[in-house]
Amino acid sequence: MNIRISGVLALSAGLLLTGLSPLAADTVFKDGFDKPFLDEGWESLNDSPDMRAIDAGRLAVVSQIGQLSKGTAKNVLLLRSPLKEKNADIDLALQVDIQRYGDSWNKRTLGGIALFNSKNDYLILHVVNFRGAYKSDSGPRVFFAKRQGGNGRKTVSQQLGKMKIGVSAFKLRIEKRGYKYTARASTDGGKKWIRIATFAVFNKPLRPGLFAVRGKEADEAIYEFDEFAITTPPDGGPK
């Protein structure tokens, strides 16, 4: 049984990437996955090329058993250079087809945006097929998590809709303003945004990227990303 997720990932950021030429004044890097291979700007941690593919202008990544915090997550795709500018907007539009919900982490699958330093230090904003103790708190749920110094994770979550079988659509965003990273989610195509949480990260270079993992008993999931872009907000973005 598959959980199929289609997405458009766009990162707006003020940063420089070594070896990557800006496409325009506000575009530093863009990958529409139109080539039959990954751009050289990417690095894959725990590379598993048989579990990903570029097809019809989309990057498909199959979630595999693993954990970022243990360094066992496969096909964690990161840009080779970290965010260097003060302000950045990271946006992800997802369409999620959920066939089964998990009542424990072993039965859940998750994927989305990673801002990664190491297995001990990272931020992740991701969607989970969440089943809670009651039907009212079950459904697609977005989690914003921070791991610092290898000392556990700080996590805040927000339910995005009722539990249903089939497709759910929403958008995710991380707004970087200096050392503050604010996560937001939208269920109406970005017209209204729900604030999830704000975390502070000091003196840690973070590399933007994509990831997909699952628990030992979770259904396999396929994440399809259509476009990845890094742009510099012309005015620094909203406050």
Model pLDDT for residues 36-70, shown as the tens digit of each residue: 999 999 999 999 999 999 988 788 888 899 999 99
Q: Could you give the C-alpha distances from 109 to 51, 139, 221, in angstroms and in order?
A: 15, 13, 7
pLDDT by residue (tens digit) across 204-239? 999 999 898 999 999 888 888 777 777 777 765 544
For 47, residues 6+ apart whose C-beta sits below 8 A from its C-beta are: 74, 75
Q: How far apart are CA 58 and CA 6, in angstroms?
A: 9
Domains of the chain (ranges; CATH) run: 2-218+226-231 (2.60.120.200)
Residue 62 tokens read as: 């199959």
On whether the pTM is more than 0.95, the answer is no
Residue 9 has pLDDT above 70, yes or no: no
pLDDT of residue 74: 97
95 or 236, greater pLDDT: 95
- DSSP 8-state code for residue 24: B
Provide φ and ψ at 106, rounded to 5°. -65, -20
Residue-level pLDDT at 79 = 92
pLDDT averaged over the chain?
Answer: 82
The single-letter DSSP state of residue 219 is P
Q: What does the block give as tokens for 11?
A: 């990162």
